Amino acid sequence: MSEQPLQPFGIKSQPVNFRALPPLSLYIHIPWCVRKCPYCDFNSHEARGRMPEREYVAALVRDLEMALPLIWGRKVYTVFFGGGTPSLLSGESVTEILRQVRMLLPLDINAEITLEANPGTVEADKFAAFLEAGVNRLSLGIQSFNDAHLQALGRIHSADEARRAIGIAQQHFDNINLDLMYALPNQTQEQALQDVQAALQFKPQHLSCYHLTLEPNTLFAHHPPPLPDDDASSDMQQSIEALLAAHGYEHYETSAFAQPGRRSRHNLNYWQFGDYLGIGAGAHSKLSFHDKILRQARYKQPQAYMEAVASGQPVQEAHEVSHNDIAFEFMMNALRLNEGFDIALFTERTSLPLFSIRHELAEAERRGLLFQDHKKIAPTESGRRFLNDLLQVFLRERN
């Protein structure tokens, strides 16, 4: 359930001035899935009939070729295949994509290369092919080990299939993330903890535990299921965090838990306001230059995207980030990190002096939502629980 963070579109203002550019990641969006889940607001489309896999792979490569002038000479440190369900691709397609990435870009020799997979699309031969292609981290969308909850979520796999998929994955990969969700329809706290306990039996290197939310333009938003109330959801969250801490997992980001040394480098680059080039249908990019930050969004519908690539214009929207937006966007990402961020990182990634947000920092600290000293800025426990309230402090009026 990992996808690029969507960011607000800003208003063009005076240029910034970067002394150095941040690390660069590559995001590759695969838009098809077997069945659209009722809670999902990602850019995913049910694969009805033949999936135009070969044509789409060719479009991805051409998209990357056309984007090269924007990232010329910059090394790529992480690659992420997100979706949709990237594991619907054949091993040959993933091999071809990564072969082209290596030909066109200076890919770091120790690059983290993640691919998302759903248990209902798991095949041992395919996982072996992904590994041989260069994928070295797998993210499995488990969501729950309870069949009734999986059915309520519209998942295509069963609890037994989830366990089987994890077992197959562990035969091939030594760096695995499991996605879980809590606050599910009619879920009790005991059931939420049972899901986490079931995941812990496999000792995954990374766990993502998401609170189910009703996103606009989803089936659940139009037909809300019976969900636990806020107090029950909060109890679930605290119990899950305590259980994972007791098993040695570091709670480093709002929904992310990792064994020591196993944090997601790709997602950390998002939260630390690094750069990323997104290719594929609906993919977003954030790219820094010496005098500006550019955001792009590609056409969302797969067929429209492929046609746009063929015409040489895959980008549907693009804008420079304004001064008012840049500080907020940094905070919107960095304050998701429980440990916060080094003060120097703010100026390094925004080109703005910390003094420019002194009033907001003081207000957040006064309200007990934020801690700061001469080295670091971090959300307090209250700030983590009420993250939206904390971020609201930094949301300025647009010019």
Q: Span 24-269: which CATH code?
A: 3.20.20.70
Task: Provide the pLDDT for residue 178.
Answer: 98
In angstroms, the CA 328 to CA 83 distance is 27
**Low-confidence spans in the chain with pLDDT less than 50:** 1-2, 6-13, 398-399
In angstroms, the CA 313 to CA 298 distance is 9
33 and 361 Cβ atoms separated by less than 8 Å: no
Task: Provide the pLDDT for residue 28.
Answer: 98
The pTM (predicted TM-score) of the whole model is: 0.93
Task: Provide the pLDDT for residue 386.
Answer: 93
CA 7-235-271 angle, to 5 degrees, is 25
Token pair of 9 as six digits: 């579109």
How far are the Cα atoms of 78, 136, 178 from residue 116, in angstroms, in the given order? 14, 11, 10
Task: Provide the pLDDT for residue 15.
Answer: 61
**DSSP state, 5?**
P
Task: Provide the pLDDT for residue 5.
Answer: 52
Task: Provide the pLDDT for residue 276.
Answer: 98
Domain(s) of CATH 3.20.20.70: residues in the chain: 24-269
Task: Provide the pLDDT for residue 399.
Answer: 41
pLDDT digits (tens, 9 = 90+) for 81-102: 999 999 999 999 999 999 999 9
Task: Provide the pLDDT for residue 13.
Answer: 46
Domain(s) of CATH 1.10.10.920: residues in the chain: 322-399
Give yes or no for a cis peptide into 82 (omega within 30° of 0): no
**Could you give the strand order of the β-sheet that contains 315-320, starting from the edge strand earlier in sequence?**
250-253, 256-258, 206-211, 176-182, 137-143, 107-117, 76-83, 24-30, 275-279, 284-289, 292-298, 315-320
Q: Span 322-399: which CATH code?
A: 1.10.10.920
Task: Provide the pLDDT for residue 397.
Answer: 57
Task: Provide the pLDDT for residue 46.
Answer: 85
Task: Provide the pLDDT for residue 47.
Answer: 82
